[in-house]
């Protein structure tokens, strides 16, 4: 690390604080299975209505509710990151969290270090392709309790794509720190490359066996992250 102290940490979720399989194998199938019934039961609620209208806007033509649901399920299967889909997924996941069907997965080493960094006075932020709503749901319903008090703010793709350096410049401006005072944690090389172009410091999490390495500082877990 450079001699300039880290004052804030910006972290990805999937593959970084949390297991990729939790999102791919738990959250996505849960929303896919329940999407038709959830929409049918809540179709007159303003947030659901707005999301369904957003599906029509995304495809560029009017869709009835059944057609919109078919399109939403297709987007889930294609792993698309589209605003109305993310909104509805978040609503369905909230019901799952609240009913205890699952808890947000966070690696124990991430829990330990996020708490320690917060206690040291470092500001902690989240940047994920999942909506801010979904991020807060995950961290407020973990098996380790409610972790949301640790974080100062959350960012999603409304601020820009995660592979766009401009997104990280905008985040740094929002945080109010020079980019080189912010450490970005992710498992994705392209995201780390963009953050570095914007002037942030970077560490790549390599949790999965055989993960592809890069020239970013590697860490097998949060235990190996150097912030000094």
Q: Looking at the structure, tell me whether residues 91 and 194 fall in a common domain.
A: no
Q: Clarify whether residues 183 and 112 are in a common domain.
A: yes
Structural domain total, the chain: 2
* CA–CA gap between residue 218 and residue 94 (Å, rounded): 34
pLDDT digits over 120-176, tens only?
Answer: 999 999 999 888 988 999 999 999 999 999 999 999 988 999 999 999 999 999 999
Task: Kindly state the average pLDDT of the residues 19-25.
Answer: 92
pTM: 0.88
Q: Are residues 110 and 199 in the same domain?
A: yes
Same domain? For 132 and 183 the reply is yes
pLDDT at 1 over 60: no
Q: Is a pLDDT exceeding 80 seen at residue 30?
A: yes
Question: Is-contact 35 92, C-beta < 8 A?
Answer: yes
150 and 52, same structural domain?
no
pLDDT of 182 > 70? The answer is: yes
What CATH number is associated with residue 204? 3.40.50.1000
* DSSP-derived 3-state class of residue 176: coil
Judged against a pLDDT cut of 90, whether residue 193 lies above it is answered with yes
Q: Give, for 33, the enclosing helix (H) or strand (E).
A: helix 28-42
Angle at 118 between CA 135 and CA 97, to 5 degrees: 25
Q: What is the pLDDT of residue 83?
A: 86
Say if residue 49 is in the same domain as residue 114.
Answer: no
In a domain, 119, yes or no: yes
Return the pLDDT at 4.
86
Within 10 angstroms of residue 57's Cβ, the number of other Cβ atoms is 12
Please check whether residues 58 and 123 belong to one and the same domain: no
Quickly state the pLDDT bin for 2 (edges 50, 70, 90). Answer: low
| Mean pLDDT of all residues belonging to the chain | 95
* Same domain flag for 119 and 197: yes
Residue 200 pLDDT exceeds 80: yes
Q: Give the residue numbers spanning the domain of 73.
A: 23-99
Q: Are residues 112 and 173 in the same domain?
A: yes
* pLDDT one-digit tens code per residue, 69-115: 999 999 999 989 888 998 999 999 999 999 999 999 999 999 999 99
**Is 1 inside a domain boundary?**
no
> pLDDT band at residue 29, thresholds of 50, 70 and 90?
very high
How confident is the model at residue 81, as a pLDDT? 83
**pLDDT at residue 3 above 90?**
no
| Cβ–Cβ < 8 Å for 189, 162 | no
For residue 60, the domain's CATH number is 1.10.720.60
Burial 140-176 (b: 16+ CB within 10 A, else e): ebbebeebbebbeebbbbebbebebbebbbebbeebe
- Calculate the dihedral angle through the C-alpha atoms of 136, 156, 109, 142, rounding to the nearest 10 degrees: 20
Domain-located, residue 3: no
Q: Which residue has the tokens 């270090």?
A: 113
């Amino acid at each position: 690390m450079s001699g300039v102290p880290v004052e804030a940490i910006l972290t990805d979720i999937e593959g970084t604080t949390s297991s990729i399989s939790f999102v791919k194998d738990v959250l996505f199938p849960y929303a896919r299975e329940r999407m038709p019934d959830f929409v049918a039961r809540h179709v007159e609620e303003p947030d659901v209505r707005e999301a369904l209208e957003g599906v029509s806007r995304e495809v560029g033509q009017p869709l009835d509710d059944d057609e919109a649901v078919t399109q939403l399920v297709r987007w889930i299967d294609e792993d698309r990151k589209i605003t109305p889909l993310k909104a509805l997924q978040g609503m369905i996941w909230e019901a799952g969290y609240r009913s205890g069907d699952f808890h947000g997965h966070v690696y124990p080493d991430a829990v330990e270090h996020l708490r320690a960094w917060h206690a040291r006075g470092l500001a902690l932020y989240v940047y994920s392709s999942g909506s801010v709503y979904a991020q807060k749901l995950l961290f407020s319903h973990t098996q380790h309790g409610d972790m949301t008090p640790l974080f100062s703010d959350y960012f999603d793709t409304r601020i820009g794509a995660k592979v766009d350096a401009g997104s990280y410049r905008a985040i740094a401006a929002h945080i109010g720190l020079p980019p080189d005072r912010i450490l970005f944690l992710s498992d994705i090389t392209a995201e780390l490359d963009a953050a570095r172009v914007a002037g942030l410091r970077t560490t790549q999490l390599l949790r999965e066996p055989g993960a592809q390495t890069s020239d970013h500082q590697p860490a097998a877990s949060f235990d190996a992250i150097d912030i000094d």
